[in-house]
Amino acid sequence: MNVTKPLALAATALLLATGAAWAQSSEVRIGVALEPPALDPTAGAAEAIDVVVYQNIFEGLTRIDQNGAVQPGLAESWEIAEDGLTYTFSLHEGITFHDGTGFDAEDVKFTFDRILAEDSVNAQKALYEPIAAVNVVDPQTVEFQLSRPDGLFLFNLGRGDAVIVAPESADNNASEPIGTGPFAFVQWDRGSRVILERYEPYWGEAPALTKATYLFISDTATLTNALLAGDVDGTNNFAPEALAVFENNPQFKVLVGSTEGETILGTNNAKEPFSDLRVRQAMAHALNRQEIIDGATYGYGVPIGSHFAPHHPYYLDLTGTYPYDPDAAKALLAEAGYPDGFSATLKLPPVAYARLSGQIIASQFAQVGIKLELISMEWAQWLEDVLGNKDFDLTIVAHVEPFDIGIYADPNYYFGYDNPDVQALNETLNATIDEGERQRIAQEVQTIIAEDAVNGYLFELAQTGVWNAKLDGMWQNAPIEGVVLRDIHWVE
């Protein structure tokens, strides 16, 4: 009797242990650095929101795949009128929201009316302003009328900002998101984790995972320990300085891919001495990109010569426009009237890539006579000073929106670049649907802003994921913000 009881306990424990191991094969725990402030992707710009919900809980009419291409989403097909002003979408049948209500064309209309409303708080409202009207043709068909052609329209429909929400639940999506995606929201222990479960009535192909937990771990050392101890199964973007811990460990795989984050030395073009092209050219010549990439991203960044992602089909390699040449930089400075250089401030937001790049650039600029004062600030202050009041000389920031070259056509944007040629080209680009023509124009804009040295073009941020070696199906690249669970599965 005395012997059998412990034995029985041990057997139960063993069963439980194997049960746990077996259950794990359809569950995943993902560690992410930032907790989303809310879970409604249509009312906030935080990447952390999309990391949890994009294509997992919520879906749009189209979706972006891991190569950045547009795929059908809730709309199975569409027709574009010849003038490029009318898009007619055929919606999939039998789609339900996680609360059981049906999805139809009315929900699409509601979603876009909400985005375009006067009191809309959609972070990307401007992207959808070409939409003049959304008409419900029948429950399975919806028609978009545009006021002008928009070459990026289908891509923009696939963004997290344009996921379809239901009128019954939209107001509660911030804390209790209800969408049409393959995973339904279960619970959010604020400050700790979000749990999603596979939505069995999902209209599309069922994902392999039955459950996904996002754990919010902001400290790199802590996340390292959690990965090593097996408390989390992976993370989509790990601090590059600590990647070495996992690189030669067979229990983990490190996925290095690209993102949409062009890291630039933001330059106040509206302010002396940066309004002088020669000064900006001199700064471009003074930058040693490889040194910055090695020092600030531990070698994981990809050099860029303009404001465009290297993995994009329209990308043009312009890194050779102003090669590293301190002598040329000094000569240009002298020509511009600064033979002894000048002093300027460099305002740095609280991200490692900016703080580290800042120090390296300060030493590179010192070699040509430009003395930089480094000012570290918090995000909120940076947003107010640099982005809001344009009270800055130089700054370092990564622009993470996909295909965002259009910011160079806005003279009121923080770097104050006012070039009518670029503005005209951007308008043509927006109105062009033909791929070849779009590519030609996009490349022309890339070239102009590279030659104008509007900003210092440093590198494209890398995505450096660390995952359990037995997990498969994660996106290596991040053409859009999100951690898409759809294809993730365990392999033995």
Interface residues with other proteins (CB under 8 A) are 35, 37-38, 43-46, 118-126, 174-175, 189-193, 215-219, 221-222, 225-226, 228-231, 350, 378-381, 383-385, 387-388, 397, 399, 401, 404, 407, 414
Tokens 């390699």 found at: 317
Judged by beta carbon, residue 28 or residue 370, the one nearer other proteins is 28
CA distance 202 to 94: 9
Judged by beta carbon, residue 308 or residue 338, the one nearer other proteins is 308
Beta carbon of residue 29, minimum distance to other proteins (angstroms, whole number): 9
The CA radius of gyration of the chain, in Å to the nearest whole number, is 25
Tokens 């424990």 found at: 13
CA distance 151 to 298: 37
Beta carbon of residue 446, minimum distance to other proteins (angstroms, whole number): 19
Beta carbon of residue 13, minimum distance to other proteins (angstroms, whole number): 14
Judged by beta carbon, residue 281 or residue 426, the one nearer other proteins is 426
Judged by beta carbon, residue 190 or residue 371, the one nearer other proteins is 190
Confirm if 430 and 126 have CB atoms less than 8 A apart.
no
Judged by beta carbon, residue 24 or residue 124, the one nearer other proteins is 124
Judged by beta carbon, residue 222 or residue 343, the one nearer other proteins is 222
Amino acid at 423: Q
Helix 420-431 / helix 435-451 crossing angle, nearest 10 deg: 160
Beta carbon of residue 383, minimum distance to other proteins (angstroms, whole number): 5
Report the first-to-last Cα separation within the chain, whole angstroms: 40
Beta carbon of residue 232, minimum distance to other proteins (angstroms, whole number): 9
Judged by beta carbon, residue 413 or residue 490, the one nearer other proteins is 413
Beta carbon of residue 127, minimum distance to other proteins (angstroms, whole number): 9
Cα distances (Å, whole numbers) of residue 351 to 226, 269, 357, 398: 22, 24, 10, 10
CA distance 476 to 306: 23
Judged by beta carbon, residue 142 or residue 354, the one nearer other proteins is 354
Amino acid at 111: T
Beta carbon of residue 122, minimum distance to other proteins (angstroms, whole number): 6
Judged by beta carbon, residue 76 or residue 189, the one nearer other proteins is 189
Query: Rounded to the nearest 5°, which phi and psi values hold at 376?
Result: -90, 135
Beta carbon of residue 121, minimum distance to other proteins (angstroms, whole number): 5
Q: Look at residues 257, 215, 239, 334 and name the one whose alpha carbon lies nearest to residue 68.
A: 257
Q: Is the dihedral of CA 105, 109, 115, 119 positive or negative?
A: negative
Which residues, including other chains, have CB under 8 Å from residue 488's CB and lie 6 or more apart?
28, 207, 208, 209, 212, 471, 472, 473, 474
Beta carbon of residue 192, minimum distance to other proteins (angstroms, whole number): 4
Q: Which two tokens stand for residue 191?
A: 């400050």
Judged by beta carbon, residue 97 or residue 414, the one nearer other proteins is 414
**DSSP letter assigned to residue 237:** S
Buried b (16+ CB within 10 A) or exposed e, 397-429: bbbbbbbebbebbbeebbbbbebeebeebbeeb
Q: Is 87 exposed, middle or buried (0-12, 13-18, 19+ CB in 10 A)?
A: buried
Beta carbon of residue 385, minimum distance to other proteins (angstroms, whole number): 7
Helix 277-286 / helix 326-335 crossing angle, nearest 10 deg: 160
